[in-house]
Amino acid sequence: MMTSHPLRVAIIGGGPGGLYAAALLKRLDPSREVTVWERNAPDDTFGFGVVLSDETLGGIEHADPVVYAALQKHFTRWDDIDIVHRNTRQTSGGHGFAALGRKRLLEILHDRCHALGVELRFRSEAPYPAWLAETYDLVIAADGVHSTTREAYTHVFRPHVTEHHCRYIWLAADFAFDAFRFEIAETEHGVMQLHGYPYAADASTVIVEMREEVWQAAGFAELDEQESVEHCAKIFAEALRGRPLKSNKSAWTTFRTVVNERWSHDNVVLLGDAAHTAHFSIGSGTKLAVEDALALAACLEEQPDIASALSAYEEERKPVVASTQRAARASLEWFENLGLYLDQQPRQFAFNLLTRSRRVTHDNLRLRDARFTEAVERDFGCPPGTPPMFTPFRLRGLTLRNRVVVSPMDMYSATDGVPGDFHLVHLGARALGGAGLVMTEMVCVSPEGRITPGCAGLYTGKQGEAWRRIVQFVHAQAPGTAIGVQLGHSGRKGSTKLMWEGIDAPLEDGNWPLVAPSPIPYKQYSQTPRELTRAQLTDVREQFTAAAWRAARADFDLLELHCAHGYLLSGFLSPLTNLRTDAYGGSLDKRLRFPLEVFDAVRGVWPEERPMTVRISATDWAEGGTTAEDAVEIARAFAAHGADAIDVSTGQVVADEQPEYGRSYQTPYADRIRHITGLPVIAVGAISSWDDVNSLILAGRTDLCALARPHLYDPHWTLHAAAEQGYDGPGVVWPAPYRAGSRRPQTGRTDAPKPRLTLGT
């Protein structure tokens, strides 16, 4: 095969990523000229310990056994994580860490580079990137989070740099912790945390972190380096066994998340922190840089030219890095919001911390440390052998037998608002599938309140009777499963085509007039709604009341008021869609006024013993829109009027939103509302596995989990979750005709993937 075979390679930055890339490329082709520029001296390093995963070490072992053997001689290994909070230590084992000193790691890589013939230029600023690009076949920019190369080509790489809310300082202790240690200090100025781990027989990395406002209040801004070190040692004296801390040009800093739209330009490529950063709380900075080097070297061997190799490198690494950055951001934000969890029971607090990034889950934590996980389950109230998702939950007079909700999903399959056989089969199948609660799609309160001509309604007696038929089927054929109705009005997002004919596209004919808080179209091509008058507000409120009355007669178990996703009531809540200057617009209290009036009217006709929930968009994902803080106040307001739980979604309010998608990406908003207000919450959004449900429930981040697409893929998702976990208890009941299928079918063998890069010795 032809190779790209760059003969002259320039590497900017002599950190682990740059050095390892140099060693790999020189080893692959000894004839290559590889030069590394490093501005600092060989023994300069500003960190202390480095943690590497078994996965990364496996890659190093296959790619360069010499480096792997040298690392093995110096690793400190341990399995436990200690979490110390309010004088209680919880220990979880089975995690498997390997660490060594950063200085030792650099020495090993220096020795390997020298042995292979790499030219290392220390105390040397690299020439300007443009000159290097003209002079060398390939330029690797491994020059860190403050990369000058990235800045030189900012118009090409298009970096996005986000600063976060905590300050931290990187220190060391002169003894070895016997576990990865997290210690929480509640001080008069606020909460602080210590992250510590051993990296040698007589040394540990210690990172002290706190929110900016706590850092300011504690006076650290006025302290010099040594004073800061001494003050940190006093705060965490017990964890440090009374020993001092030491620094190495250590300074308080704010973590910056770096994301680049592109990683290469012509023959210049970014690697490591220059391309991306991941918060230290998941220990991935060096890991990612080393893995980048492995992938880049492999792509240069496999592809026919440099352009193809760099393209393949980006294509391979970007999804991996994006996944790690999502996990790192979840971990970072958990520590930023640590104060929310201080009152949790000790073991639940520890479980919450361990699962914060979503990389560690209930299921794999059970594999690592079954004793600890079972203790957390007992504290939570799980009967023996019962996964958290199959514990009951009570809302007012309704007890749900498990924590799974079939989320509302618009089917666009009604005729004149009447649900037919499709709805009976659709909702009936999901009720038979074992969920604790099955929700209807958004059921519209008027013909003008529909999204599409196919939307279901509850504004006529015929519609009410059709819904009653469906509810009766669920109650008769799936006893123990509750069915809820979601009531809503489309507002400015109505009079559109069926989703599969063109989502949000206006009807070509047969349009109906739209109403909204303010006359703002959803999209440029959307119909412009009329601003609701006072008289029309009264009419809409009465439409909701009449629909709720019909829902009660249909015998629904629960009613949810849809105040999310940019529909009518959501339109009142968001400052981006409510520009009114009367009593229903302006401050949040005024924007809440009409949704609360509707809620009160509905609650007035809804049976007292049956619960009501409210779905909200906790953020608009747009500048100037609803914030997480607003969402907390919105939740409090509805609770004060009698809401039993808040169903926490996000977005879909404005067309130019910028969501941050990812696994269970909306859960932090539910978590925040739950812990600040004490209200029960329903989490929704990219929750797809029963392991995620168990993790979220047991950590106390939510009370119920609503899943949509998984229930489209598998109507019996909850039954199958029980079978896969070997659970057969009261939390889920197989219908008698389905009982023979309650054991998981056998599957064929799958082999593990081959190593990414294997080199001969």
Residues recognised as catalytic = 567
Let me know if 556 is exposed, middle or buried by CB neighbors in 10 A (0-12, 13-18, 19+).
Answer: buried
Closest CA to 530 of 505, 543, 544, 513: 513
**Residues 402, 554: Cα–Cα separation, whole Å:** 23
**Residues 276, 697: Cα–Cα separation, whole Å:** 32
**Residues 689, 696: Cα–Cα separation, whole Å:** 11
3-state secondary structure of 263: coil
> Which secondary-structure segment (H or E) carries 211?
strand 203-211
Residue pair 492/571 in contact (Cβ under 8 Å)? The answer is: yes
Does residue 96 come out as left (phi exceeding 0), alpha (psi in the -120 to 50 range) or beta?
Answer: left
Helices (H), 337-406: 346-354, 362-368, 370-380
Cβ-based neighbour number of residue 223 at 10 Å: 15
First and final C-alpha spacing in the chain: 21
**Residues 434, 715: Cα–Cα separation, whole Å:** 9
* Token duo for residue 76: 């400190």
**Residues 628, 431: Cα–Cα separation, whole Å:** 33
* Token duo for residue 114: 């020298």
Residue pair 119/131 in contact (Cβ under 8 Å)? The answer is: no
> Which secondary-structure segment (H or E) carries 404?
strand 404-406
Q: CA separation (Å) from 699 to 132, 194, 703?
A: 51, 21, 10
**Residues 354, 187: Cα–Cα separation, whole Å:** 23
* Token duo for residue 609: 């013993």
Amino acid at 445: V
Residue pair 26/118 in contact (Cβ under 8 Å)? The answer is: yes
Long-range contacts of 227-231 (CB under 8 A, 24+ apart): 228/169, 228/252, 229/169, 229/171
Let me know if 29 is exposed, middle or buried by CB neighbors in 10 A (0-12, 13-18, 19+).
Answer: middle
| Phi and psi, residue 253, nearest 5° | -145, 165
Closest CA to 195 of 184, 186, 207: 207
* Token duo for residue 63: 């790619």
| Phi and psi, residue 2, nearest 5° | -65, 145
Task: Give the DSSP per-residue string, 609-629.
Answer: TS-EEEEEES--SSTTS--HH
> Which secondary-structure segment (H or E) carries 682?
strand 681-684
| Phi and psi, residue 140, nearest 5° | -105, 115
Does residue 39 come out as left (phi exceeding 0), alpha (psi in the -120 to 50 range) or beta?
Answer: alpha
